[in-house]
Structure 1
Amino acid sequence: MTVLLTLASYETAARRTDQRRDIDDGLAFPLLGLFGETGSLLSEVKKKQRDPVAYLGYEDTVLEELGDVLWYLAAVTNRAHLTLADLAVNLDRDLECWQSTGDKDLTFTAIEASAQPVASEPSPEFETALLRLSAEVGLLMTDYNAGRLQQNRSALKGRLIAVLRALRTAGHEAGVPLSKAAQSNLEKINDRWPRTRQPPPLFDAGFPATEQLPRRLKIRIEEIEQDGKTAARLTRDGVLIGDPLTDNRAEDDDYRFHDVFHLSYAAHLGWSPTLRRLLKVKRKSDPVTDEVQDGARAVLIEEGIATWIFNHAQRLALFDGIETLDYGLLKSVRRFVSGYEAENCPLWLWEDAILNGYKVFREVRTHRGGTVTIDMDERKIWFDAP
């Protein structure tokens, strides 16, 4: 039996990820987010209009953006000490018939049943509906900025109801009922900020021990001079691992130490085609896995991810002092690995792998070498100075 998603259960999950609430429980921040996400939704429509053939992924993006608008609306509502059900119960009521509170068991499906039918795809009226949504959000922002809502809960509630009603209409014209947008947003929340963090099983767990990445691995990194260039050399128990690496760049940026990132991917994700190649532990007992998951293309993808993130990190002091990564960056990384086993790793685990990898990278960079150890069972990586 299918369990319908209630507004209350969605709101509980959304409230758990309102990370700034402990610092600032005012309405200003989520209102800015609501305004921004509505603008992002309009931007996606503009892109589609500008280049309808070349712009792919439109439907998925609209679904995600509608969910993000709903999340910020839930955040504003919660900080105003209201509930989404308090708003939803009045969506189709006249002002004189308003109810003060909503049913905690009210479902998204129930509030859509009385509205206009859901289109099978974005309709020509979708643009009009979005303009109406942006107008309602604009009125909410204007009244709040003018101080007309802080002491007038009825006016605030009215503005929020109007936004939710416009959002429902926009969703229907886009072919996305609110129930679908809410469910998609919950999946995003659980992917990025789960209640419990349980990493998936290691990808090579069912393979022979000789084809598994070492569950505990200690690598020594040294900086050496080779052919008049500065290079990084990796050894394991005194045995050279791969070839010494230079920055391969006109100006030094210490990318020669980037194997730290592959070690971190292995430690946290259980994934590193590059490290498998270096350690000669490709999964040859399964020809398909050997060719696809451990093959040259997978290695190139991992190297591409490491380079792309590094270019981004250089603009952010190599993520020093940063505790969370931009969602767009993490989503782009997942697109990189689409079709490969690493796409099954949740975004929070990718974030751990990247941030902890850069923490160790900064240490190696400071000390010009050292020892990096990973424990794949514990999903950890750490550094010991030389």
Structure 2
Amino acid sequence: MIEFKEYQQAAQQTSRLALGGPQAAIAPMLGLAAGTGSILNVYRKYLRDGVDLAAYREFLREELGDLLWYVAAVATAFGLDLQDIATANLHRTRDRYPVGPPEQALMELPVFDAACPPQERLPRRLVVAFAEETLGSGRRAARQILLAAEPNAFPDGPVHGEAGKVAGYRVGGPLGDPLTDNSRRSDAYRYHDAIHLGFLAVLNWSPTTRALLHLKRKSDPMADECEDGARAVFAEEGLAAVLSRLAVRHAGFQSEASVDGEVIEVARAASMDLEVQSLPVWLWRRAIQQGFQAMRHLAENEGGYLAVDLDARELTYHKVLP
């Protein structure tokens, strides 16, 4: 069994091309294009004439080998290590697509507040009602009410901690103030807390929702300041605002496939140096899609109910109380 590093070295020894410097990459890149064309030509025959691909097995084996040789030559020309390229590529693909059964992949994800006292942990299941109302100004607004939280560390409602600061939430009570679209045109942004609840359900992360629930991690000064503080809240709010703009040209993020690399780069930039940055790309896709899908349902029905399940990593919309 040959390693990529050994293969690259051996390929260089068999080369008749000058491989020193980027200019020397032109010839092997032309080889990559030609080899790819040869394989496409076989596939064209398969589509047009229905040829048996098994008859081309040896040909494809040789062409793929040539492609590998040219890849090694391009890497050498640019001073890159083929072994490092292969390792980085596997890491990248595993980041974008879960390995193994989805249930197993979800179980292996971190729970950021697992080591905290119960009074600082996020409930694992919540039900939040959204109701639309008209303010005195005539503008439409959406109000959130927490209907259920399990486990509920505050059965008697919020408590007052150090310096009189409130900790905890009240089931049946509001979550924050009514929100308008904060825009000259109506675009349903009044329901954008669905985006935050998508993050909460799928990523198990939402500094904004944690702040509304008054669940700051006071027992961990670093988490209290850096993960639950104002900067993290502003980062998440900014991310939600930018995503809502990007959604216009990404089919509203109604499918995970619509959450492309550009969107992921935005999410990664907003979450840099926060605990959530360690989570894989495929999970971000799921969180964004579920949040925006729930937001659309709320807007279309002028309210409804969102069920948040942090264990299943799932946010679902319901017209009637689930």
Q: TM-score range by the shorter chain?
A: 0.7 to 0.9
Partner of 1:72: none
Q: How far is 1:232 from its partner?
A: 0.9
Matched position secondary structure for 1:373:
strand
User: CA 1:240 to 1:173, structure 2 compared with 1: closer, same or farther past 3 Å?
Assistant: same
Matched, 1:176 2:80: yes
The C-alpha deviation readout for 1:66-94, integer Å capped at 9, x for no partner, is: xxxxxxxxxxxxxxxxxxxxxxxxxxxxx
Q: Which amino acid aligns with 2:225?
A: E
What is the alpha-carbon distance in structure 2 between the residues aligned to residue 243 and residue 149 of structure 1? 60
> For 1:313-324, what aligned pairs fall within 5 Å after superposition?
313-320=247-254, 323=257
What is the alpha-carbon distance in structure 1 between the residues aligned to residue 130 and residue 260 of structure 2? 30
Q: How far is 1:136 from its partner?
A: 1.4
Matched position secondary structure for 1:366:
helix
- Of the three residues 93, 101, 108, the one matched with 1:189 is 93
Whether contact under 8 Å (2:256, 2:285) holds in the other structure is no
Whether contact under 8 Å (2:31, 2:67) holds in the other structure is yes
The C-alpha deviation readout for 1:37-64, integer Å capped at 9, x for no partner, is: xxxxxxxxxxxxxxxxxxxxxxxxxxxx
Q: How far is 1:202 from its partner?
A: 1.0
Structure 1 residues not aligned, in runs of 5+: 1-104, 118-122
Whether contact under 8 Å (2:133, 2:143) holds in the other structure is yes
What is the alpha-carbon distance in structure 2 between the residues aligned to residue 360 and residue 232 of structure 1? 14
Matched, 1:163 2:89: no
Whether contact under 8 Å (1:231, 1:256) holds in the other structure is yes
Partner of 1:136: 31
Partner of 1:286: 220
What is the alpha-carbon distance in structure 2 between the residues aligned to residue 321 and residue 360 of structure 1? 12
> For 1:255-294, what aligned pairs fall within 5 Å after superposition?
255-294=189-228
User: CA 1:143 to 1:191, structure 2 compared with 1: closer, same or farther past 3 Å?
Assistant: closer
The C-alpha deviation readout for 1:316-358, integer Å capped at 9, x for no partner, is: 3313355563234224322321211000111111111111222
User: CA 1:160 to 1:149, structure 2 compared with 1: closer, same or farther past 3 Å?
Assistant: farther
Partner of 1:240: 174
Give the stretch that moved more between structures: 289-298 or 146-155. 146-155
What is the alpha-carbon distance in structure 2 between the residues aligned to residue 336 and residue 254 of structure 1? 23
Q: TM-score, normalised by structure 2?
A: 0.77
User: CA 1:308 to 1:109, structure 2 compared with 1: closer, same or farther past 3 Å?
Assistant: same
Partner of 1:36: none
Partner of 1:204: 113
Matched, 1:299 2:208: no
User: CA 1:147 to 1:194, structure 2 compared with 1: closer, same or farther past 3 Å?
Assistant: closer
User: CA 1:337 to 1:322, structure 2 compared with 1: closer, same or farther past 3 Å?
Assistant: closer
Q: Which amino acid aligns with 1:209?
A: P
Partner of 1:13: none
Question: Which aligned segments of 4 or more residues in structure 1 are displaced greater than 4 angstroms?
Answer: 141-159, 321-324
What is the alpha-carbon distance in structure 2 between the residues aligned to residue 149 and residue 234 of structure 1? 56
Q: How far is 1:148 from its partner?
A: 11
Whether contact under 8 Å (2:250, 2:259) holds in the other structure is no
Matched, 1:213 2:122: yes
Q: How far is 1:163 from its partner?
A: 2.9
Whether contact under 8 Å (1:229, 1:246) holds in the other structure is yes
> For 1:327-338, what aligned pairs fall within 5 Å after superposition?
327-338=261-272
The C-alpha deviation readout for 1:105-161, integer Å capped at 9, x for no partner, is: 3321331232449xxxxx9712431x2233113323554566799586666555444
Give the stretch that moved more between structures: 159-168 or 201-210. 159-168
Partner of 1:348: 282
Give the stretch that moved more between structures: 317-326 or 222-231. 317-326
Structure 1 vs Structure 2 CA RMSD: 2.6
Identity of aligned residues (%): 34
Q: How far is 1:168 from its partner?
A: 0.8
Whether contact under 8 Å (1:143, 1:149) holds in the other structure is no
What is the alpha-carbon distance in structure 2 between the residues aligned to residue 154 and residue 133 of structure 1? 22
What is the alpha-carbon distance in structure 2 between the residues aligned to residue 266 and residue 149 of structure 1? 47
What is the alpha-carbon distance in structure 2 between the residues aligned to residue 352 and residue 149 of structure 1? 36
What is the alpha-carbon distance in structure 2 between the residues aligned to residue 244 and residue 204 of structure 1? 28
User: CA 1:278 to 1:181, structure 2 compared with 1: closer, same or farther past 3 Å?
Assistant: same
Partner of 1:114: 10
Q: Figure out how many residues of one structure are paired with residues of the other and give that number.
A: 276
Matched position secondary structure for 1:335:
helix
User: CA 1:173 to 1:140, structure 2 compared with 1: closer, same or farther past 3 Å?
Assistant: closer
Q: TM-score, normalised by structure 1?
A: 0.65
User: CA 1:142 to 1:187, structure 2 compared with 1: closer, same or farther past 3 Å?
Assistant: closer
Whether contact under 8 Å (1:215, 1:375) holds in the other structure is yes
